[in-house]
């Protein structure tokens, strides 16, 4: 690391420390830049390059994390939570939660308290899979190679929900993926919890044709944000629905498979299986 790089790193570290210590005052870009002796323009670019997000986005994340701690561990009202976080009111708290967490502050506080979720295990050619559903649609789908691991993950997503070990029509419809092209499954609906950006990425994944792959750069270009590769990768890694939302079809621009939350071997098997089935379907169409 050069001397200048070290100086820049130190400034960014000081800026992060300043934000963490003063987020309840909701400092402006100018406030933070002044604290590290940089112009707002120069600081904005430097912080984004080093941290991967803008100073504003980082401040929002820190604010929401603090609000989550209050809502989870205390009996504070939404108004009190907004005040203690340094926000102007419950409307601002609501907007931040929707943007970053994909749910309202009230929904986070309840953590699925009034939600009934059916779940069942199914055997597939790629191993056992757990599918969970509400009345609205599929809310979770995960490979479960180890006993109960997917169920524990489901519980973490909805800590206060009621779970019923029951097979329903919504889950059975989801299993059609292993017998026909998923693009024909019009009856399958989703009940997903995610930020607007995550939902946008997951919707984009649904448009990747069977038997093909796309790169992280392709996805970023699809949403008109060519600089969002890292954010795209983060959203893809948090996809709660295996196979139906085909995050396995995204690879690195180098051609390498890249990471997959259910393992690279499973990712390779899924891509190969879909490519073979796509070829069979195309021949049948002729």
Predicted local confidence at residue 215, as pLDDT: 92
Antiparallel, parallel or unpaired: β 138-143 and 162-165: unpaired
Q: Do 3-110 and 196-285 come out as alike in CATH topology?
A: yes
d(CA 172, CA 120): 10
Active site amino acids: 247
Instruction: Please provide the CATH number assigned to the domain covering 196-285.
Output: 1.10.10.10
Greatest mean pLDDT among 37-41, 62-66, 184-188 lies in 37-41
Q: Please report which helix (H) or strand (E) contains residue 121, including its range.
A: strand 116-124
Q: Which CATH fold topology does 3-110 show?
A: Arc Repressor Mutant, subunit A (1.10.10)
Q: Do residues 160 and 117 touch, judged by C-beta distance below 8 A?
A: no
Q: Where are the domains of the chain?
A: 3-110, 116-168, 196-285
Per-residue pLDDT of 70-113, as tens digits, reads: 877 787 877 777 778 878 778 777 677 666 665 567 666 666 67
Under CATH, which number does the domain 116-168 receive?
3.30.160.70
- Residue 184's contacts (CB-CB under 8 Å, 6 or more residues apart) are none
At residue 227, what are phi and psi to the nearest 5 degrees? Answer: -95, 10
Residue 193: pLDDT over 80: no
Given pLDDT bands bounded at 50, 70 and 90, which one contains residue 165?
very high
Question: Residue 48 has what pLDDT?
Answer: 84
Confidence of residue 166 (pLDDT cuts 50, 70, 90): very high
As a whole-number percent, the residues of the chain with pLDDT over 90 amount to 21
pLDDT at 141: 93
pLDDT at 228: 79
Whole-angstrom Cα distance, residue 222 to residue 203?
11
Neighbours of 193 (CB within 10 A): 17
Largest CA distance in the chain: 67
Q: Is the pLDDT of residue 214 over 80?
A: yes
Average pLDDT of the chain, as a whole number: 83
Residue entry with tokens 């191993």: 127
Closest listed residue to residue 107, CA positions, set 173, 195, 174: 195
Per the DSSP assignment, residues forming a β-bridge with 132 are 119, 140
């Amino acid at each position: 690391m050069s001397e200048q790089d070290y100086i820049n790193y130190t400034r960014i570290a000081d800026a992060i420390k300043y934000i963490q210590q003063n987020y309840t005052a909701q400092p402006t870009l100018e406030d933070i830049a002044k604290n590290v002796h940089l112009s707002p323009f120069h600081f904005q670019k430097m912080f984004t390059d080093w941290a991967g997000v803008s100073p504003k986005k980082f401040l929002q994340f820190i604010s929401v994390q603090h609000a989550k701690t209050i809502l989870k561990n205390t009996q504070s009202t939404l108004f009190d939570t907004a005040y203690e976080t340094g926000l102007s009111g419950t409307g601002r708290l609501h907007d931040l939660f929707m943007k970053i967490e994909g749910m309202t502050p009230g929904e986070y506080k309840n953590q699925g308290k009034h939600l009934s979720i059916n779940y069942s295990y199914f055997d597939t050619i790629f191993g056992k899979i757990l599918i969970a559903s509400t009345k609205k649609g599929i809310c979770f789908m995960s490979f479960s190679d180890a006993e109960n691991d997917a169920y524990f993950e489901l519980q973490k997503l909805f800590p206060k929900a009621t779970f019923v070990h029951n097979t329903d029509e919504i889950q059975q419809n989801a299993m059609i993926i292993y017998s026909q092209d998923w693009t024909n499954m019009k009856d399958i609906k989703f009940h997903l919890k995610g930020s607007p950006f995550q939902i946008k990425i997951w919707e984009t994944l649904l448009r990747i044709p069977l038997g093909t792959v796309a790169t992280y750069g392709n996805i970023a270009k699809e949403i008109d944000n060519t600089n969002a590769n890292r954010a795209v990768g983060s959203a893809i890694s948090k996809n709660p629905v295996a196979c139906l939302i085909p995050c396995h079809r995204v690879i690195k621009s180098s051609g390498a498979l890249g990471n997959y939350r259910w393992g690279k071997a499973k990712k390779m098997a899924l891509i190969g299986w879909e490519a073979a089935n796509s070829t069979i379907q195309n021949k049948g169409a002729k």
